[in-house]
Chain A
Amino acid sequence: MFMCPGCKLSSALYRFAAAATVLTLLSLHTVACAQNVSVFAAVSLNEALDAALVLFERPANMRVVPSYAASSALARQIQSGAPADVFISADTEWMDYLAERKLIDVATRSNLITNRLVLIAPAASSVQTEIRPGFGLSQMLGDGRLSVADPDSVPAGKYAKAALMTLGVWNSVERRLVRGENVRAALNFVARGEAPLGIVYRTDAYAEKKVRIVATFAPDTHRPIVYPAAMVAGSRAPAARQLLDFLRSQRARAVFEKHGFIAVR
Protein backbone atom coordinates (compact mmCIF):
# COMPACT_ATOMS: atom_id res chain seq x y z
CA MET A 1 0.00 0.00 0.00
CA PHE A 2 1.48 3.30 0.96
CA MET A 3 5.19 3.13 1.16
CA CYS A 4 6.71 5.52 3.56
CA PRO A 5 10.43 4.92 3.71
CA GLY A 6 11.58 4.93 7.25
CA CYS A 7 8.26 5.53 8.97
CA LYS A 8 7.26 2.24 10.45
CA LEU A 9 4.71 3.91 12.70
CA SER A 10 2.91 5.39 9.74
CA SER A 11 2.26 2.07 7.96
CA ALA A 12 1.05 0.46 11.20
CA LEU A 13 -1.30 3.38 11.63
CA TYR A 14 -2.67 2.87 8.13
CA ARG A 15 -3.35 -0.77 8.83
CA PHE A 16 -5.12 0.08 12.04
CA ALA A 17 -7.23 2.75 10.39
CA ALA A 18 -8.19 0.39 7.60
CA ALA A 19 -9.23 -2.32 10.06
CA ALA A 20 -11.23 0.11 12.15
CA THR A 21 -13.06 1.41 9.11
CA VAL A 22 -13.97 -2.06 7.92
CA LEU A 23 -15.21 -3.10 11.34
CA THR A 24 -17.30 0.02 11.70
CA LEU A 25 -18.87 -0.45 8.29
CA LEU A 26 -19.58 -4.07 9.10
CA SER A 27 -21.29 -3.26 12.35
CA LEU A 28 -23.29 -0.48 10.75
CA HIS A 29 -24.37 -2.92 8.12
CA THR A 30 -25.45 -5.35 10.81
CA VAL A 31 -27.36 -2.68 12.60
CA ALA A 32 -28.98 -1.57 9.41
CA CYS A 33 -29.92 -5.05 8.45
CA ALA A 34 -31.40 -5.69 11.86
CA GLN A 35 -34.94 -4.67 12.17
CA ASN A 36 -34.92 -1.62 14.38
CA VAL A 37 -38.02 0.12 15.45
CA SER A 38 -37.43 3.70 16.48
CA VAL A 39 -40.00 5.09 18.89
CA PHE A 40 -40.19 8.82 19.53
CA ALA A 41 -42.08 9.18 22.81
CA ALA A 42 -42.98 12.05 25.11
CA VAL A 43 -40.53 12.22 27.98
CA SER A 44 -43.17 11.64 30.62
CA LEU A 45 -43.47 8.09 29.27
CA ASN A 46 -39.86 7.32 30.11
CA GLU A 47 -40.08 4.69 32.84
CA ALA A 48 -43.47 3.32 31.84
CA LEU A 49 -42.55 2.70 28.21
CA ASP A 50 -39.19 1.19 29.10
CA ALA A 51 -40.98 -1.22 31.47
CA ALA A 52 -43.59 -2.11 28.85
CA LEU A 53 -41.00 -2.74 26.17
CA VAL A 54 -39.39 -5.39 28.34
CA LEU A 55 -42.55 -7.43 27.95
CA PHE A 56 -42.73 -6.95 24.20
CA GLU A 57 -42.08 -10.26 22.44
CA ARG A 58 -39.92 -9.41 19.60
CA PRO A 59 -38.10 -11.40 16.93
CA ALA A 60 -34.46 -12.15 17.60
CA ASN A 61 -32.79 -9.54 15.43
CA MET A 62 -35.16 -6.73 16.26
CA ARG A 63 -34.42 -3.88 18.63
CA VAL A 64 -36.79 -1.23 19.85
CA VAL A 65 -34.98 2.06 20.34
CA PRO A 66 -36.97 4.67 22.26
CA SER A 67 -36.08 8.36 22.18
CA TYR A 68 -37.56 10.55 24.88
CA ALA A 69 -37.94 14.29 24.61
CA ALA A 70 -40.60 16.96 24.71
CA SER A 71 -43.37 16.15 22.19
CA SER A 72 -42.69 19.52 20.57
CA ALA A 73 -39.04 18.68 20.01
CA LEU A 74 -39.88 15.21 18.65
CA ALA A 75 -42.54 16.50 16.27
CA ARG A 76 -40.13 19.07 14.85
CA GLN A 77 -37.48 16.40 14.42
CA ILE A 78 -39.92 14.16 12.54
CA GLN A 79 -40.86 17.12 10.40
CA SER A 80 -37.17 17.55 9.58
CA GLY A 81 -36.99 13.96 8.46
CA ALA A 82 -35.80 12.12 11.55
CA PRO A 83 -36.03 8.34 10.97
CA ALA A 84 -38.74 7.52 13.49
CA ASP A 85 -41.18 4.65 13.09
CA VAL A 86 -43.64 5.32 15.90
CA PHE A 87 -44.59 8.62 17.55
CA ILE A 88 -46.30 8.92 20.91
CA SER A 89 -47.20 12.49 21.78
CA ALA A 90 -48.37 13.95 25.10
CA ASP A 91 -51.06 15.98 23.43
CA THR A 92 -53.26 15.81 20.37
CA GLU A 93 -52.05 19.14 19.00
CA TRP A 94 -48.61 17.94 18.08
CA MET A 95 -50.02 14.77 16.54
CA ASP A 96 -52.46 16.96 14.56
CA TYR A 97 -49.52 19.10 13.53
CA LEU A 98 -47.87 16.10 11.91
CA ALA A 99 -51.14 14.77 10.52
CA GLU A 100 -51.75 18.08 8.74
CA ARG A 101 -48.42 17.67 7.06
CA LYS A 102 -49.16 14.05 6.18
CA LEU A 103 -46.24 12.90 8.26
CA ILE A 104 -48.12 10.16 10.09
CA ASP A 105 -50.15 7.22 8.93
CA VAL A 106 -53.58 8.42 10.10
CA ALA A 107 -55.09 4.96 9.90
CA THR A 108 -52.80 3.79 12.70
CA ARG A 109 -53.55 6.67 15.06
CA SER A 110 -55.27 6.01 18.35
CA ASN A 111 -55.20 7.30 21.90
CA LEU A 112 -53.24 5.17 24.32
CA ILE A 113 -53.49 6.63 27.78
CA THR A 114 -54.29 9.75 29.71
CA ASN A 115 -52.67 11.56 32.62
CA ARG A 116 -53.40 14.07 35.34
CA LEU A 117 -51.76 17.39 36.18
CA VAL A 118 -50.44 17.99 39.69
CA LEU A 119 -48.87 20.78 41.73
CA ILE A 120 -45.65 19.56 43.33
CA ALA A 121 -43.13 20.79 45.90
CA PRO A 122 -39.76 19.49 47.08
CA ALA A 123 -40.14 16.49 49.37
CA ALA A 124 -38.87 18.46 52.34
CA SER A 125 -41.39 21.24 51.87
CA SER A 126 -44.52 21.22 54.00
CA VAL A 127 -46.58 23.63 51.96
CA GLN A 128 -50.31 22.94 51.79
CA THR A 129 -53.01 24.36 49.60
CA GLU A 130 -56.20 23.62 47.74
CA ILE A 131 -56.45 24.36 44.07
CA ARG A 132 -59.40 26.65 43.62
CA PRO A 133 -60.13 29.55 41.34
CA GLY A 134 -57.97 32.49 42.39
CA PHE A 135 -55.92 30.49 44.88
CA GLY A 136 -52.82 32.24 46.27
CA LEU A 137 -50.22 30.57 44.09
CA SER A 138 -48.16 33.72 43.64
CA GLN A 139 -47.94 34.30 47.39
CA MET A 140 -46.94 30.71 47.99
CA LEU A 141 -43.98 31.17 45.67
CA GLY A 142 -42.43 33.84 47.89
CA ASP A 143 -39.39 35.05 46.00
CA GLY A 144 -38.98 31.75 44.19
CA ARG A 145 -40.28 30.66 40.83
CA LEU A 146 -42.87 28.22 39.54
CA SER A 147 -41.25 25.43 37.56
CA VAL A 148 -43.16 24.33 34.46
CA ALA A 149 -42.34 22.99 31.02
CA ASP A 150 -42.22 25.74 28.37
CA PRO A 151 -45.85 26.83 27.99
CA ASP A 152 -45.22 27.99 24.44
CA SER A 153 -44.48 24.58 23.03
CA VAL A 154 -44.26 21.65 25.44
CA PRO A 155 -47.61 19.89 26.14
CA ALA A 156 -47.12 19.76 29.90
CA GLY A 157 -46.51 23.49 29.89
CA LYS A 158 -49.49 24.16 27.70
CA TYR A 159 -51.77 22.18 29.98
CA ALA A 160 -50.36 24.01 32.99
CA LYS A 161 -50.94 27.41 31.37
CA ALA A 162 -54.49 26.42 30.41
CA ALA A 163 -55.22 25.26 33.94
CA LEU A 164 -53.80 28.39 35.53
CA MET A 165 -55.74 30.57 33.13
CA THR A 166 -58.94 28.73 33.90
CA LEU A 167 -58.30 29.26 37.59
CA GLY A 168 -57.57 32.95 36.99
CA VAL A 169 -54.04 32.94 38.44
CA TRP A 170 -51.98 32.87 35.21
CA ASN A 171 -51.40 36.62 35.15
CA SER A 172 -50.07 36.64 38.68
CA VAL A 173 -47.41 34.03 37.95
CA GLU A 174 -46.66 34.54 34.27
CA ARG A 175 -43.49 36.47 35.02
CA ARG A 176 -42.41 34.13 37.79
CA LEU A 177 -41.88 30.99 35.75
CA VAL A 178 -38.93 28.76 35.17
CA ARG A 179 -39.46 27.21 31.75
CA GLY A 180 -37.96 23.74 31.39
CA GLU A 181 -37.37 22.41 27.93
CA ASN A 182 -39.43 19.40 28.82
CA VAL A 183 -41.54 18.28 31.79
CA ARG A 184 -38.70 16.30 33.33
CA ALA A 185 -36.49 19.36 33.41
CA ALA A 186 -39.30 21.14 35.21
CA LEU A 187 -39.53 18.21 37.60
CA ASN A 188 -35.82 18.30 38.33
CA PHE A 189 -35.79 21.94 39.32
CA VAL A 190 -38.31 21.16 42.02
CA ALA A 191 -36.55 17.96 43.02
CA ARG A 192 -33.35 19.93 43.57
CA GLY A 193 -35.13 22.51 45.62
CA GLU A 194 -34.29 25.28 43.16
CA ALA A 195 -38.00 26.03 42.76
CA PRO A 196 -40.49 25.88 45.62
CA LEU A 197 -43.36 24.72 43.42
CA GLY A 198 -43.90 23.14 40.02
CA ILE A 199 -46.59 21.75 37.75
CA VAL A 200 -45.95 18.36 36.17
CA TYR A 201 -47.84 15.19 35.32
CA ARG A 202 -48.93 12.97 38.13
CA THR A 203 -46.88 10.15 36.64
CA ASP A 204 -43.74 12.32 36.88
CA ALA A 205 -44.40 13.00 40.55
CA TYR A 206 -44.77 9.27 41.15
CA ALA A 207 -41.45 8.64 39.44
CA GLU A 208 -39.46 11.14 41.50
CA LYS A 209 -38.91 10.49 45.19
CA LYS A 210 -37.61 13.95 45.92
CA VAL A 211 -40.92 15.69 45.25
CA ARG A 212 -44.33 15.44 46.85
CA ILE A 213 -47.72 16.16 45.37
CA VAL A 214 -49.36 19.18 46.98
CA ALA A 215 -52.63 19.00 45.05
CA THR A 216 -54.09 17.67 41.82
CA PHE A 217 -55.61 19.91 39.14
CA ALA A 218 -59.22 19.07 38.35
CA PRO A 219 -59.45 17.64 34.81
CA ASP A 220 -61.87 20.34 33.73
CA THR A 221 -59.29 23.09 34.22
CA HIS A 222 -57.49 21.97 31.06
CA ARG A 223 -58.00 19.96 27.92
CA PRO A 224 -57.86 16.21 28.47
CA ILE A 225 -54.29 15.01 28.73
CA VAL A 226 -54.33 12.41 26.02
CA TYR A 227 -51.40 10.47 24.58
CA PRO A 228 -52.05 9.56 20.95
CA ALA A 229 -49.80 7.06 19.22
CA ALA A 230 -49.31 6.53 15.49
CA MET A 231 -47.00 5.12 12.90
CA VAL A 232 -44.83 7.68 11.18
CA ALA A 233 -45.53 7.93 7.45
CA GLY A 234 -42.86 6.33 5.34
CA SER A 235 -41.69 4.06 8.12
CA ARG A 236 -40.07 0.99 6.68
CA ALA A 237 -40.14 -1.16 9.77
CA PRO A 238 -42.76 -3.88 9.39
CA ALA A 239 -42.58 -4.51 13.11
CA ALA A 240 -43.84 -0.99 13.84
CA ARG A 241 -47.44 -2.14 13.48
CA GLN A 242 -46.75 -5.05 15.82
CA LEU A 243 -45.38 -2.63 18.37
CA LEU A 244 -48.41 -0.37 18.17
CA ASP A 245 -50.69 -3.34 18.63
CA PHE A 246 -48.70 -4.39 21.64
CA LEU A 247 -48.91 -0.95 23.19
CA ARG A 248 -52.69 -1.16 22.95
CA SER A 249 -52.74 -4.61 24.48
CA GLN A 250 -53.89 -5.47 27.98
CA ARG A 251 -50.39 -6.35 29.15
CA ALA A 252 -49.02 -2.98 28.13
CA ARG A 253 -51.94 -1.16 29.68
CA ALA A 254 -51.31 -2.86 33.00
CA VAL A 255 -47.76 -1.53 32.97
CA PHE A 256 -48.89 1.99 32.16
CA GLU A 257 -51.49 1.92 34.89
CA LYS A 258 -48.94 0.69 37.38
CA HIS A 259 -46.95 3.86 36.65
CA GLY A 260 -49.92 6.11 37.24
CA PHE A 261 -51.34 6.55 33.77
CA ILE A 262 -55.01 6.03 33.06
CA ALA A 263 -55.66 3.69 30.17
CA VAL A 264 -58.11 4.67 27.46
CA ARG A 265 -60.74 2.02 26.92
Chain B
Amino acid sequence: MRNAARMAAMLNIDVTKRLGDFSLNASFTSDSGVTALFGRSGSGKTTLVNAIAGLLRPERGVIEVDGECLYDSLRGIDVPVASRRVGYVFQEGRLFPHLTVRGNLSYGYRLTRADQRYVEFAHVVELLGLGGLLDRRPGNLSGGEKQRAAIGRALLASPRVLLMDEPLAALDQQLKAEILEYIERLHANIRIPIIYVTHAIEEIVRLADVVVIMAAGSVVTAGKVSDIMGRPELREQTGRFEGGTVIEAKVVSQDNEYGLATIAFNGGQLVIAAPDAGVGHEIRLRVRARDVSIALTRPPDISVLNVLSGRIVDIHAEGGPSANVRIDVGGVRLLARITRFSLQKLALSPGQQVYALVKAVSLDR
Protein backbone atom coordinates (compact mmCIF):
# COMPACT_ATOMS: atom_id res chain seq x y z
CA MET B 1 0.00 0.00 0.00
CA ARG B 2 1.63 3.18 -1.04
CA ASN B 3 0.59 6.65 -0.01
CA ALA B 4 2.01 10.12 -0.20
CA ALA B 5 3.65 9.92 3.20
CA ARG B 6 5.57 6.83 2.25
CA MET B 7 6.75 8.22 -1.02
CA ALA B 8 8.42 11.10 0.64
CA ALA B 9 10.24 9.05 3.28
CA MET B 10 13.99 8.52 3.09
CA LEU B 11 13.60 4.88 3.92
CA ASN B 12 10.57 2.87 2.99
CA ILE B 13 10.91 -0.77 3.87
CA ASP B 14 8.33 -3.51 3.59
CA VAL B 15 9.69 -7.03 3.34
CA THR B 16 8.16 -10.47 3.51
CA LYS B 17 10.42 -13.50 3.45
CA ARG B 18 10.31 -17.01 4.72
CA LEU B 19 13.50 -18.83 5.68
CA GLY B 20 12.77 -22.33 6.88
CA ASP B 21 10.74 -21.99 10.07
CA PHE B 22 11.34 -18.29 10.36
CA SER B 23 9.05 -15.78 8.76
CA LEU B 24 10.05 -12.17 8.28
CA ASN B 25 7.28 -9.69 7.84
CA ALA B 26 8.65 -6.26 8.58
CA SER B 27 7.55 -2.85 7.52
CA PHE B 28 8.63 0.65 8.53
CA THR B 29 9.48 4.04 7.19
CA SER B 30 12.01 6.52 8.45
CA ASP B 31 13.06 10.01 7.59
CA SER B 32 15.87 10.26 10.00
CA GLY B 33 19.59 10.12 9.84
CA VAL B 34 20.18 7.11 12.02
CA THR B 35 17.51 4.43 12.23
CA ALA B 36 18.19 1.78 14.80
CA LEU B 37 16.89 -1.75 14.40
CA PHE B 38 16.52 -3.16 17.86
CA GLY B 39 15.54 -6.60 18.99
CA ARG B 40 16.68 -9.87 20.49
CA SER B 41 18.81 -12.24 18.44
CA GLY B 42 16.62 -14.18 16.09
CA SER B 43 14.16 -11.35 15.70
CA GLY B 44 15.03 -10.94 12.04
CA LYS B 45 17.15 -7.80 12.10
CA THR B 46 20.02 -9.23 10.08
CA THR B 47 17.64 -10.90 7.64
CA LEU B 48 15.96 -7.57 7.05
CA VAL B 49 19.26 -5.81 6.52
CA ASN B 50 20.39 -8.50 4.10
CA ALA B 51 17.21 -7.96 2.13
CA ILE B 52 17.85 -4.23 1.99
CA ALA B 53 21.38 -4.89 0.77
CA GLY B 54 20.10 -7.23 -1.89
CA LEU B 55 21.85 -10.29 -0.50
CA LEU B 56 18.48 -11.86 0.10
CA ARG B 57 15.48 -11.70 -2.18
CA PRO B 58 12.19 -11.16 -0.40
CA GLU B 59 9.04 -12.93 -1.43
CA ARG B 60 7.19 -9.69 -1.74
CA GLY B 61 7.54 -6.13 -0.68
CA VAL B 62 9.09 -2.77 -1.36
CA ILE B 63 12.50 -1.40 -0.56
CA GLU B 64 13.01 2.27 -1.24
CA VAL B 65 16.05 4.19 -0.18
CA ASP B 66 16.47 7.90 -0.63
CA GLY B 67 13.89 8.03 -3.38
CA GLU B 68 15.35 5.13 -5.33
CA CYS B 69 13.34 1.95 -5.61
CA LEU B 70 15.63 -1.01 -5.04
CA TYR B 71 12.96 -3.65 -4.89
CA ASP B 72 9.31 -3.78 -5.70
CA SER B 73 7.66 -7.14 -6.14
CA LEU B 74 4.59 -5.65 -7.79
CA ARG B 75 6.51 -3.78 -10.44
CA GLY B 76 9.06 -6.53 -10.89
CA ILE B 77 11.97 -4.38 -9.78
CA ASP B 78 14.94 -6.08 -8.19
CA VAL B 79 18.14 -4.11 -8.46
CA PRO B 80 21.14 -6.45 -8.28
CA VAL B 81 23.40 -6.17 -5.23
CA ALA B 82 26.28 -4.63 -7.07
CA SER B 83 24.13 -1.80 -8.37
CA ARG B 84 22.32 -0.90 -5.16
CA ARG B 85 25.09 1.26 -3.72
CA VAL B 86 24.28 0.10 -0.24
CA GLY B 87 27.21 0.24 2.12
CA TYR B 88 27.32 -2.70 4.51
CA VAL B 89 29.46 -2.89 7.61
CA PHE B 90 29.34 -6.49 8.84
CA GLN B 91 29.60 -7.61 12.41
CA GLU B 92 32.80 -9.52 11.68
CA GLY B 93 34.18 -6.79 9.50
CA ARG B 94 34.84 -9.16 6.57
CA LEU B 95 37.94 -7.38 5.40
CA PHE B 96 39.64 -9.06 2.44
CA PRO B 97 42.60 -10.89 3.96
CA HIS B 98 44.73 -10.88 0.86
CA LEU B 99 44.62 -7.11 0.41
CA THR B 100 46.21 -4.38 2.48
CA VAL B 101 43.99 -1.90 4.30
CA ARG B 102 44.55 0.48 1.42
CA GLY B 103 43.51 -2.25 -1.01
CA ASN B 104 40.39 -2.92 1.04
CA LEU B 105 39.49 0.74 1.26
CA SER B 106 39.88 1.38 -2.41
CA TYR B 107 38.02 -1.75 -3.47
CA GLY B 108 34.62 -0.11 -3.60
CA TYR B 109 36.05 3.34 -4.30
CA ARG B 110 37.44 2.17 -7.61
CA LEU B 111 34.14 0.65 -8.60
CA THR B 112 32.24 3.88 -8.04
CA ARG B 113 31.68 6.22 -10.93
CA ALA B 114 33.47 9.50 -10.48
CA ASP B 115 30.29 11.53 -10.72
CA GLN B 116 28.70 9.47 -7.97
CA ARG B 117 31.49 9.83 -5.47
CA TYR B 118 30.91 12.13 -2.53
CA VAL B 119 33.81 11.12 -0.33
CA GLU B 120 37.47 11.12 -1.03
CA PHE B 121 40.07 8.66 0.11
CA ALA B 122 42.08 11.08 2.25
CA HIS B 123 38.97 12.41 3.94
CA VAL B 124 37.77 9.01 5.11
CA VAL B 125 41.24 7.96 6.18
CA GLU B 126 41.50 11.05 8.34
CA LEU B 127 37.97 10.72 9.69
CA LEU B 128 38.54 7.19 10.87
CA GLY B 129 42.17 7.51 11.85
CA LEU B 130 43.39 4.92 9.37
CA GLY B 131 46.52 6.75 8.28
CA GLY B 132 49.02 4.52 9.99
CA LEU B 133 47.32 1.32 8.97
CA LEU B 134 47.18 1.68 5.22
CA ASP B 135 49.94 -0.73 4.39
CA ARG B 136 49.04 -3.34 6.96
CA ARG B 137 47.04 -6.46 6.28
CA PRO B 138 43.85 -7.40 8.09
CA GLY B 139 45.60 -10.31 9.78
CA ASN B 140 47.75 -7.80 11.65
CA LEU B 141 45.02 -5.48 12.88
CA SER B 142 43.32 -5.26 16.22
CA GLY B 143 39.54 -5.61 16.52
CA GLY B 144 38.96 -1.88 16.67
CA GLU B 145 41.25 -1.19 13.74
CA LYS B 146 39.45 -3.82 11.69
CA GLN B 147 36.07 -2.27 12.35
CA ARG B 148 37.28 1.20 11.46
CA ALA B 149 38.70 -0.15 8.23
CA ALA B 150 35.44 -1.94 7.50
CA ILE B 151 33.48 1.26 8.03
CA GLY B 152 35.91 3.16 5.84
CA ARG B 153 35.67 0.59 3.11
CA ALA B 154 31.89 0.77 3.02
CA LEU B 155 31.96 4.57 3.06
CA LEU B 156 34.41 4.90 0.24
CA ALA B 157 31.97 3.22 -2.11
CA SER B 158 29.83 6.37 -1.72
CA PRO B 159 26.74 4.45 -0.72
CA ARG B 160 23.23 5.84 -0.60
CA VAL B 161 22.69 4.32 2.80
CA LEU B 162 24.98 2.74 5.34
CA LEU B 163 23.93 -0.54 6.91
CA MET B 164 25.70 -1.43 10.11
CA ASP B 165 25.00 -4.86 11.57
CA GLU B 166 25.97 -4.78 15.24
CA PRO B 167 29.36 -3.34 14.37
CA LEU B 168 30.44 -3.12 18.00
CA ALA B 169 29.29 -6.55 19.08
CA ALA B 170 32.68 -8.20 18.77
CA LEU B 171 34.55 -5.47 20.65
CA ASP B 172 35.33 -5.04 24.31
CA GLN B 173 33.94 -2.17 26.34
CA GLN B 174 36.78 0.23 25.79
CA LEU B 175 36.92 -0.34 22.06
CA LYS B 176 33.16 0.00 21.84
CA ALA B 177 33.37 3.50 23.26
CA GLU B 178 36.18 4.38 20.92
CA ILE B 179 34.46 3.17 17.78
CA LEU B 180 31.19 4.69 18.86
CA GLU B 181 32.88 8.05 18.80
CA TYR B 182 34.14 7.45 15.31
CA ILE B 183 30.66 6.56 14.18
CA GLU B 184 29.27 9.70 15.76
CA ARG B 185 31.92 11.71 14.01
CA LEU B 186 31.09 10.02 10.78
CA HIS B 187 27.41 10.76 11.16
CA ALA B 188 28.16 14.36 11.86
CA ASN B 189 30.45 14.67 8.87
CA ILE B 190 28.75 12.68 6.18
CA ARG B 191 25.05 13.01 6.08
CA ILE B 192 23.81 9.76 4.68
CA PRO B 193 21.08 7.67 6.23
CA ILE B 194 22.34 4.92 8.47
CA ILE B 195 20.49 1.78 9.46
CA TYR B 196 22.07 0.58 12.67
CA VAL B 197 21.32 -2.90 13.93
CA THR B 198 21.97 -3.46 17.59
CA HIS B 199 20.74 -5.00 20.77
CA ALA B 200 22.60 -2.53 22.94
CA ILE B 201 20.58 0.35 24.33
CA GLU B 202 23.56 2.59 24.88
CA GLU B 203 24.31 2.59 21.18
CA ILE B 204 20.75 3.49 20.30
CA VAL B 205 20.68 6.26 22.79
CA ARG B 206 23.86 7.77 21.53
CA LEU B 207 23.36 7.43 17.83
CA ALA B 208 19.79 6.86 16.77
CA ASP B 209 16.97 9.26 16.09
CA VAL B 210 14.43 6.62 15.20
CA VAL B 211 14.25 3.15 16.63
CA VAL B 212 12.45 0.21 15.09
CA ILE B 213 11.78 -2.58 17.55
CA MET B 214 11.57 -6.06 16.09
CA ALA B 215 10.51 -9.38 17.52
CA ALA B 216 9.89 -12.75 15.89
CA GLY B 217 10.23 -11.35 12.42
CA SER B 218 7.86 -8.41 12.74
CA VAL B 219 8.10 -4.79 13.66
CA VAL B 220 6.55 -4.30 17.10
CA THR B 221 6.73 -0.55 17.05
CA ALA B 222 8.74 2.26 15.57
CA GLY B 223 9.21 5.86 16.50
CA LYS B 224 11.47 8.52 17.88
CA VAL B 225 13.99 7.30 20.39
CA SER B 226 12.91 9.58 23.15
CA ASP B 227 9.32 8.37 22.87
CA ILE B 228 9.97 4.68 22.62
CA MET B 229 12.58 4.42 25.29
CA GLY B 230 10.26 5.70 27.97
CA ARG B 231 7.73 2.94 27.52
CA PRO B 232 8.07 0.16 30.06
CA GLU B 233 5.40 -1.99 28.47
CA LEU B 234 7.82 -2.79 25.67
CA ARG B 235 10.06 -4.70 28.02
CA GLU B 236 8.51 -8.03 26.98
CA GLN B 237 9.41 -7.75 23.34
CA THR B 238 12.82 -6.45 23.86
CA GLY B 239 14.06 -8.76 26.54
CA ARG B 240 16.89 -7.05 28.25
CA PHE B 241 15.35 -3.68 27.55
CA GLU B 242 15.18 -1.71 30.65
CA GLY B 243 12.91 1.24 31.31
CA GLY B 244 14.45 4.68 31.28
CA THR B 245 14.21 8.14 29.87
CA VAL B 246 16.15 9.69 27.06
CA ILE B 247 16.94 13.32 27.59
CA GLU B 248 18.21 15.74 24.97
CA ALA B 249 20.20 18.48 26.57
CA LYS B 250 22.85 21.07 25.99
CA VAL B 251 26.04 21.40 27.98
CA VAL B 252 25.89 24.68 29.90
CA SER B 253 29.04 24.68 31.98
CA GLN B 254 31.91 22.51 33.05
CA ASP B 255 33.69 22.06 36.34
CA ASN B 256 37.17 20.87 35.51
CA GLU B 257 38.29 20.49 39.09
CA TYR B 258 35.66 17.98 39.95
CA GLY B 259 35.15 16.55 36.48
CA LEU B 260 31.52 17.53 36.38
CA ALA B 261 29.31 19.37 33.91
CA THR B 262 25.94 20.98 34.08
CA ILE B 263 23.45 20.30 31.33
CA ALA B 264 20.19 22.04 30.66
CA PHE B 265 17.07 20.42 29.37
CA ASN B 266 13.40 21.19 29.25
CA GLY B 267 12.85 19.97 32.75
CA GLY B 268 15.64 21.96 34.34
CA GLN B 269 19.27 21.31 34.92
CA LEU B 270 21.28 18.22 35.74
CA VAL B 271 24.77 17.77 37.03
CA ILE B 272 26.56 14.85 35.44
CA ALA B 273 30.05 13.40 35.10
CA ALA B 274 31.67 15.53 32.39
CA PRO B 275 31.08 14.15 28.90
CA ASP B 276 33.50 14.60 26.01
CA ALA B 277 31.29 17.20 24.41
CA GLY B 278 32.24 20.76 25.27
CA VAL B 279 30.13 23.68 26.40
CA GLY B 280 27.37 24.56 24.00
CA HIS B 281 27.22 21.05 22.50
CA GLU B 282 24.08 19.02 22.36
CA ILE B 283 24.16 15.62 23.96
CA ARG B 284 21.77 12.85 24.57
CA LEU B 285 21.53 11.06 27.85
CA ARG B 286 19.69 8.10 29.25
CA VAL B 287 18.38 8.15 32.76
CA ARG B 288 17.67 4.62 33.89
CA ALA B 289 14.50 4.20 35.84
CA ARG B 290 16.34 2.33 38.52
CA ASP B 291 18.56 5.32 39.17
CA VAL B 292 15.64 7.63 39.95
CA SER B 293 14.36 7.87 43.52
CA ILE B 294 11.31 9.75 44.82
CA ALA B 295 10.98 12.00 47.82
CA LEU B 296 7.94 13.88 49.15
CA THR B 297 10.05 16.73 50.46
CA ARG B 298 13.33 18.20 49.32
CA PRO B 299 15.88 16.19 51.33
CA PRO B 300 18.57 18.22 53.14
CA ASP B 301 22.17 17.00 53.69
CA ILE B 302 22.10 14.43 50.92
CA SER B 303 24.83 13.51 48.47
CA VAL B 304 22.49 13.42 45.51
CA LEU B 305 23.11 16.47 43.36
CA ASN B 306 20.06 16.33 41.15
CA VAL B 307 16.75 17.04 42.82
CA LEU B 308 13.98 17.88 40.35
CA SER B 309 10.49 18.97 41.16
CA GLY B 310 7.67 17.37 39.21
CA ARG B 311 4.25 15.81 39.20
CA ILE B 312 3.33 12.11 39.07
CA VAL B 313 1.63 11.28 35.77
CA ASP B 314 0.91 7.62 36.23
CA ILE B 315 1.91 4.54 38.13
CA HIS B 316 2.36 0.98 36.84
CA ALA B 317 2.73 -1.76 39.35
CA GLU B 318 3.81 -4.99 37.70
CA GLY B 319 3.57 -8.17 39.66
CA GLY B 320 6.66 -8.54 41.80
CA PRO B 321 8.42 -6.17 44.13
CA SER B 322 8.74 -3.08 41.88
CA ALA B 323 6.60 -0.40 40.40
CA ASN B 324 7.19 2.22 37.69
CA VAL B 325 6.26 5.78 38.37
CA ARG B 326 6.23 8.41 35.64
CA ILE B 327 6.97 11.94 36.70
CA ASP B 328 6.47 14.99 34.53
CA VAL B 329 9.41 17.32 34.94
CA GLY B 330 8.97 20.43 32.84
CA GLY B 331 7.36 18.44 30.02
CA VAL B 332 9.88 15.60 30.14
CA ARG B 333 8.51 12.31 31.38
CA LEU B 334 11.04 10.87 33.82
CA LEU B 335 10.61 7.23 34.75
CA ALA B 336 11.33 6.08 38.27
CA ARG B 337 11.40 2.53 39.53
CA ILE B 338 10.76 1.95 43.19
CA THR B 339 9.42 -0.83 45.40
CA ARG B 340 5.72 -1.30 45.82
CA PHE B 341 6.39 -1.12 49.48
CA SER B 342 7.66 2.42 49.19
CA LEU B 343 4.79 3.24 46.90
CA GLN B 344 2.49 2.24 49.67
CA LYS B 345 4.46 3.81 52.44
CA LEU B 346 4.63 7.21 50.77
CA ALA B 347 1.06 6.86 49.54
CA LEU B 348 2.00 8.03 46.06
CA SER B 349 -0.73 8.72 43.58
CA PRO B 350 -1.12 10.40 40.20
CA GLY B 351 -1.22 14.14 40.31
CA GLN B 352 0.94 14.34 43.39
CA GLN B 353 3.85 16.84 43.54
CA VAL B 354 7.06 15.01 44.31
CA TYR B 355 10.80 15.37 43.93
CA ALA B 356 12.81 13.09 41.60
CA LEU B 357 16.34 12.34 42.78
CA VAL B 358 19.07 11.28 40.36
CA LYS B 359 22.67 10.70 41.38
CA ALA B 360 25.17 12.53 39.19
CA VAL B 361 27.47 9.50 38.99
CA SER B 362 24.75 7.31 37.57
CA LEU B 363 24.42 9.66 34.66
CA ASP B 364 27.31 8.72 32.45
CA ARG B 365 27.49 7.88 28.88
Find out whether A and B make contact in their complex, taking CB atoms under 8 A apart as touching: no
- Chain B interface (Cβ within 8 Å of chain A)? none
- Chain A interface (Cβ within 8 Å of chain B)? none
